[in-house]
A and B are shown apart, each in its own frame.
Chain A
């Protein structure tokens, strides 16, 4: 009876969330009768993409392969070609049913084509290793909304590709994505979600839904309107990404007050209108006084507080008696979170609650968006309302992300 020894082994290292951080693979070399030096691959994950793997790096930190996603589905992979050290982009094209599958090179030439049976088995091609990793299976019934070149879906009419608002062909769009996402150092230089936001064309102009695909889709259906996915194609803002497992931030920046003031100065008109609508005595000019009302010593990073009140994943909390602001660990946008929480403290007496902030931002909208937001606030079967979500969305849109592409 023969025995079989393993010819290779892989060690996987997981982080606290069970996500793979690195793999170390060793292979047995028959000629030298020894195990090779482990080949280690590190995985750079993007929190903004739900922890999906963005780039694989080798031990030297060099990029080996990068993934571009549409929702949870891999849209393309970009790999370093050994020896030549050049980059190769392979785009993946699937139809909405996953029955047809193509990969193509950046030139447009088809690299691989297959037709899959309902079970996902390849019906025409010999089994080969697909150079694509789907890290998380697409959500049931959602999948990618992007129509690929030869597989435009009649179930998603009206979707278009735009760069700076100008409709472009998918080929041009993809080139822009590729050029923008990869810089001279090989690593991904873009620092924000590939998918920036969803918009719906309305009689009052485009309504922005941020990353709320369900809300945007529901509205587009109601209006029989166009659903637009806006993808980032240029970005130099490098603070949003979380590379592997950065150490939790335990200290606040000493110039937090200045950073907060800078944040509100950036959207002074909107912020003043919001504070006026709330009937606050504070304005952008006196936002420093509002900061002092809470006080630097009463702003703290404290994850336990979030766990205690049953909001472990929230970014910030506000509390009265005495006035306090809590910031969760892993938050890096201290100024943004503090600014938002300060709005709760901007009441003449007591606190503005989440609903009051939601209502105030809604009151600043045009009539159509007010009606749409009020429908959201009532909560519907397919889009339940959680207080403060509208305020966060609008503040991001009109203030915190203002001026960014």
Chain B
């Protein structure tokens, strides 16, 4: 079993068969895991952010990372609002990244059949979004095919963590 795993890793590095998008996703998340990492984990990894409370910004070498933390304690309602996730407060619920470098969306070689294509920004109609509702990924692409930003959110794959509807 161990040998097989080593062979796979060696094969991956030699033949490069791991899809580039997976590499990119790991790179863009900068070690932060959706619905797993907590504020303490993130600050240990990346230090103190810009902003406080539940939405923060990290200025990094290769771009800007925006994070949202969960504002409820598991499924307990707060301020009259119903909680969404059976997770501890301060768990990362959204990761967005804007690379400082230029990259074409095509170079990600994504399987576009998994993505919903939509114009979601009425104020910037030239931006096109490619959304994977299952995994929870949104790529925003400019009219010249350049990747504008990428956002990771809890897709339907994560529904098991949702609080029961009241």
State the A residues within 8 Å of B (CB): 202-203, 219, 222-224, 276-279, 309-311, 314, 316-321, 341, 344, 347-351, 353-357, 359, 362-368, 370-372, 374-375, 378, 386-388
Q: How far is the CA of A311 from the CA of B126 in the complex (A)?
A: 12
Closest 4 interchain pairs by CB?
A363-B55, A222-B80, A309-B125, A279-B64
Contact present for A388 and B53 (CB under 8 Å): no
Nearest CB to that of A316 among chain B residues? B123
**Residue numbers in A under 8 Å from B22 (CB-CB):** none
Q: How far is the CA of A224 from the CA of B54 in the complex (A)?
A: 24
Contact present for A370 and B57 (CB under 8 Å): no
Contact present for A223 and B80 (CB under 8 Å): yes
Q: Restricting to B47-75, which residues have a CB under 8 Å from any CB of A?
A: 50-51, 53-57, 59, 64, 66, 68, 71-72
* Residue of A276, A344, A355, A362 with most partner-chain B CB within 10 A: A355
**Residue numbers in B under 8 Å from A347 (CB-CB):** 98
Which of A279, A310, A320, A370 lies in contact with B55, CB distance below 8 A?
Answer: A370
Q: How far is the CB of A335 from chain B (nearest CB, A)?
A: 17
**Residue numbers in A under 8 Å from B127 (CB-CB):** 351, 353
Which of A202, A279, A344 lies in contact with B123, CB distance below 8 A?
Answer: A344
**Is B102 an interface residue, CB under 8 A from the partner?**
yes
Nearest CB to that of B145 among chain A residues? A321
Which of A276, A364, A375, A387 lies in contact with B122, CB distance below 8 A?
Answer: A387
Nearest CB to that of B58 among chain A residues? A279
**Residue numbers in B under 8 Å from A367 (CB-CB):** 53-54, 71
**Residue numbers in B under 8 Å from A354 (CB-CB):** 120-124
Q: How far is the CA of A349 from the CA of B50 in the complex (A)?
A: 19
**Residue numbers in A under 8 Å from B143 (CB-CB):** 319-321
Contact present for A355 and B51 (CB under 8 Å): no
Q: How far is the CB of B136 from chain A (nearest CB, A)?
A: 13
Q: How far is the CB of A82 from chain B (nearest CB, A)?
A: 50
Q: How far is the CA of A9 from the CA of B149 in the complex (A)?
A: 63
**Residue numbers in B under 8 Å from A368 (CB-CB):** 79
Q: How far is the CB of A150 from chain B (nearest CB, A)?
A: 32
**Residue numbers in A under 8 Å from B51 (CB-CB):** 277, 363-364
User: Given A368-B79, A371-B79, A374-B71, is A351 in contact with B54 using a C-beta cutoff of 8 Å?
Assistant: no
Which of A203, A321, A388 lies in contact with B142, CB distance below 8 A?
Answer: A321
Contact present for B120 and A355 (CB under 8 Å): yes
Which of B59, B64, B71, B149 lies in contact with A353, CB distance below 8 A?
Answer: B149
* Residue of B54, B79, B100, B140 with most partner-chain A CB within 10 A: B79
Contact present for B144 and A356 (CB under 8 Å): no
Q: Restricting to B95-113, which residues have a CB under 8 Å from any CB of A?
A: 96, 98-102
Nearest CB to that of A318 among chain B residues? B124
User: Given A279-B64, A353-B148, A367-B53, is A318 in contact with B123 using a C-beta cutoff of 8 Å?
Assistant: yes
Q: How far is the CA of A223 from the CA of B82 in the complex (A)?
A: 12
Contact present for A375 and B81 (CB under 8 Å): yes
Q: How far is the CA of A366 from the CA of B57 in the complex (A)?
A: 16
Q: How far is the CA of A364 from the CA of B52 in the complex (A)?
A: 8
Per-residue CB contact flags for chain B residues 136-166 toward chain A (1 = under 8 Å, else 0) read 0000101110101101000000000000000
Known contacts A319-B126, A351-B142; 11 further A-B pairs (Cβ under 8 A): A203-B79, A276-B50, A318-B123, A319-B124, A320-B124, A320-B143, A348-B98, A350-B98, A363-B55, A370-B53, A374-B71
Which of A349, A378, A388 lies in contact with B121, CB distance below 8 A?
Answer: A388
**Residue numbers in A under 8 Å from B59 (CB-CB):** 279
Q: How far is the CA of A353 from the CA of B99 in the complex (A)?
A: 14
**Is B78 an interface residue, CB under 8 A from the partner?**
yes
Contact present for A387 and B121 (CB under 8 Å): yes
Which of B53, B56, B64, B121 lies in contact with A366, CB distance below 8 A?
Answer: B53
Q: How far is the CA of A341 from the CA of B57 in the complex (A)?
A: 21
* Residue of A318, A320, A350, A359 with most partner-chain B CB within 10 A: A350
**Residue numbers in B under 8 Å from A375 (CB-CB):** 81
Contact present for A314 and B79 (CB under 8 Å): no
Give 20 A-B contacts (CB < 8 Å), ordered by A residue: A222-B79, A223-B79, A279-B64, A310-B125, A316-B123, A321-B143, A341-B123, A349-B99, A351-B127, A351-B148, A356-B66, A356-B96, A359-B68, A363-B57, A365-B53, A367-B54, A371-B71, A371-B79, A372-B81, A375-B81
Nearest CB to that of A280 among chain B residues? B64
**Residue numbers in A under 8 Å from B66 (CB-CB):** 356, 359
Q: How far is the CA of A251 from the CA of B117 in the complex (A)?
A: 36
Which of B79, B121, B124 lies in contact with A372, CB distance below 8 A?
Answer: B79
Contact present for B57 and A350 (CB under 8 Å): no
Q: How far is the CB of B48 from chain A (nearest CB, A)?
A: 14
Which of B56, B81, B142 lies in contact with A371, CB distance below 8 A?
Answer: B81
**Residue numbers in B under 8 Å from A277 (CB-CB):** 50-51, 57
Which of B71, B72, B122 lies in contact with A388, CB distance below 8 A?
Answer: B122
Nearest CB to that of A225 among chain B residues? B80
**Residue numbers in B under 8 Å from A276 (CB-CB):** 50, 57
Contact present for B57 and A388 (CB under 8 Å): no
Contact present for A371 and B78 (CB under 8 Å): yes
User: Given A317-B125, A318-B124, A319-B124, is A363 in contact with B56 using a C-beta cutoff of 8 Å?
Assistant: yes
